[in-house]
Amino acid sequence: MKIIKVGLIGFGIVGSGVVKILSDNSDVISQRLGAKIELVKIADLDIETDRGVKVEPGVLTKDVDEVLTNPEIDIVIELIGGTEPAKTFMMKAMENGKRVVTANKALLAKHGDEVFSLAEEKGFALGFEAAVGGCIPIIRSLKESFAATQIKSIVGIVNGTANYILSQMTENGREFGVALKEAQELGFAEADPTFDVEGIDTAHKAALLTRLAYGTSVNFDEIYIQGISDITLKDIDCAREFGYKIKLLAISKMNGDSVEVRVHPAMIPEDHSLAQINGVFNAVQIYDDLMEKSALIGHGAGSLPTASAVIGDVIEIARDVLLGVSSRVPVQAFDPKSFKNLPVTDIRQIETEYFLRFNALDKPGVLSVISGILGDHSISIKSVIQQGRDEGKGVPLILMTHQAREENIQDALAKLNHTDVISEKPIVIRCES
């Protein structure tokens, strides 16, 4: 039986999952591939710590070049994450004729043009299924299964940490800080949770989905990103009162001359299928011209789910190696000659529904002032709830709008901030239905 030799850079959570699966499931992998996958080198700065998986002597090394320049190795798995030195390593691996598999969404989202171009130039596949939605087969589906369709939009819950926190807030009434601490204790959140809770990780994934769905590069810095750290139990309760849940969404829409890519907490109706995705589960919904709506759901993180996607890519690329062919499918789903360079739609130009919470003064005429200013900005109101009543003091006034333009909302709120009818900066949460 033929042997495909693989090198691994990064022996962390996902890396040790890769080692475990290649050992535990070697039979089923060989039965599917018709060849054996052998992990010949693992490079990591820490070669002492026991990861709970068996590694043959001589496999572990501190010298990354034992992977990158190893003539035996066909496929390099990069799992150190972050932009550097991951990018240097990945580029060097490709320059040395290695095919690469990675879970590094940050690198591909921020430096995709450079990394993907080199893979295209070399004619190699570059596997990154594990970069979005863990084991959810969204990358392969966009590149192959949905290749006949014109994708219109993608909406996803693609960060398990944020979804776990929001689920705990919604279901068990935990405050954000408490739920975050709990997630950290359970290993669902990192010591520095910024990327997860501030939406940055979700935006990395949104950028990658956008590239593959519409065949366009995405300037990461143009993406509107808002995290969940400002979401309070009050917001969750208000959402519930309107029959909504709050989820951190990655939203990507083809708008013709631009692509709308935005990440923010959003209110979605309780009977929306994404509202059923709780805890660390992820889900990606695809809307297109032929299938209407499809959804893929699964574990979005964790050692084994993510590693299973990594090895799925390794197996796919091993088939190329066995056949002696270059990449079959364009690295970014579209032929490089057709690849576009569309701008991201300015957030002020998007249109959606809005949930607005004002701390209004409880005196006659307040609603008339607020609704008047909203009306002047072409914003029409779907429903209003005024909670409690305490004349002369602030009371929460909650409005849901019909479809409105973001710039009109922002302009109207700026104007309202200059009136004397509201006492605090209003809370704004976008709605997706």
Residues taking part in catalysis:
205
355 interacts with a copy of itself by CB under 8 A: no
Q: In which element (H, E) is residue 33 found?
A: helix 26-33
Q: Looking at beta carbons only, is 290 or 384 nearer to a copy of itself? A: 290
Q: Tell me how far, at minimum, the Cβ of 67 lies from a copy of itself, in Å.
A: 20
199 interacts with a copy of itself by CB under 8 A: no
How far apart are the C-alpha atoms of 237 and 240, rounded to whole Å? 5
124 interacts with a copy of itself by CB under 8 A: no
* Number of residues written out for the chain: 433
Q: Tell me how far, at minimum, the Cβ of 255 lies from a copy of itself, in Å.
A: 16
Q: Tell me how far, at minimum, the Cβ of 168 lies from a copy of itself, in Å.
A: 18
338 interacts with a copy of itself by CB under 8 A: yes
∠ CA 163-166-169, nearest 5°, is: 150
Token representation of residue 236: 């969750």
The residue from 6, 9, 21, 76 that contacts a copy of itself (CB under 8 A) is: 21
The residue from 203, 305, 361, 399 that contacts a copy of itself (CB under 8 A) is: 305
358 interacts with a copy of itself by CB under 8 A: no
- By the 10 Å C-beta count (0-12 exposed, 13-18 middle, 19+ buried), 371 is classed as middle
Task: Give the residue from 69, 201, 213 showing the smallest Cα distance to 138.
Answer: 213
Local structure of residue 283 (DSSP, 8 states): E
289 interacts with a copy of itself by CB under 8 A: yes
Tokens 């068996």 correspond to 54
133 neighbors 298 (Cβ within 8 angstroms): yes
172 interacts with a copy of itself by CB under 8 A: no
186 interacts with a copy of itself by CB under 8 A: no
Q: Tell me how far, at minimum, the Cβ of 178 lies from a copy of itself, in Å.
A: 25
Packed helices 13-24 and 26-33: angle between N→C axes, nearest 10 degrees? 70
Q: Which residues contact 50 (CB under 8 A, 6 or more apart)?
A: none
Tell me phi and psi for residue 327, to 5 degrees.
-60, 130
25 interacts with a copy of itself by CB under 8 A: yes
Q: Total binding residues for a copy of itself by CB under 8 A?
A: 62
Q: Looking at beta carbons only, is 85 or 243 nearer to a copy of itself? A: 243
414 interacts with a copy of itself by CB under 8 A: no
Q: How many CB atoms lie within 10 A of CB 329?
A: 14
The residue from 2, 62, 328, 425 that contacts a copy of itself (CB under 8 A) is: 328
The residue from 7, 112, 265, 312 that contacts a copy of itself (CB under 8 A) is: 312
Q: Would strands 244-254 and 224-225 be described as parallel, antiparallel, or unpaired? A: unpaired
Task: Give the residue from 61, 71, 72 showing the smallest Cα distance to 10.
Answer: 61
347 interacts with a copy of itself by CB under 8 A: no
The interface with a copy of itself within residues 30-89 (CB under 8 A) comprises 30-34
315 interacts with a copy of itself by CB under 8 A: yes
Q: Which residues contact 47 (CB under 8 A, 6 or more apart)?
A: 11, 60, 61, 62
The interface with a copy of itself within residues 141-170 (CB under 8 A) comprises 141, 143-150
How far apart are the C-alpha atoms of 232 and 235, rounded to whole Å? 5
215 interacts with a copy of itself by CB under 8 A: yes
Q: Tell me how far, at minimum, the Cβ of 398 lies from a copy of itself, in Å.
A: 28
Q: Looking at beta carbons only, is 337 or 389 nearer to a copy of itself? A: 337
Q: Tell me how far, at minimum, the Cβ of 147 lies from a copy of itself, in Å.
A: 5
78 neighbors 6 (Cβ within 8 angstroms): no
* DSSP states of 341-353: -PPBPPGGG-EEE
End-to-end CA distance of the chain: 53
Footprint of a copy of itself (CB under 8 A): 21, 24-25, 28-34, 129, 134-137, 140-141, 143-150, 215, 273, 276, 289-299, 304-305, 307-309, 311-312, 314-316, 319-320, 323, 325-326, 328-330, 333-335, 337-338
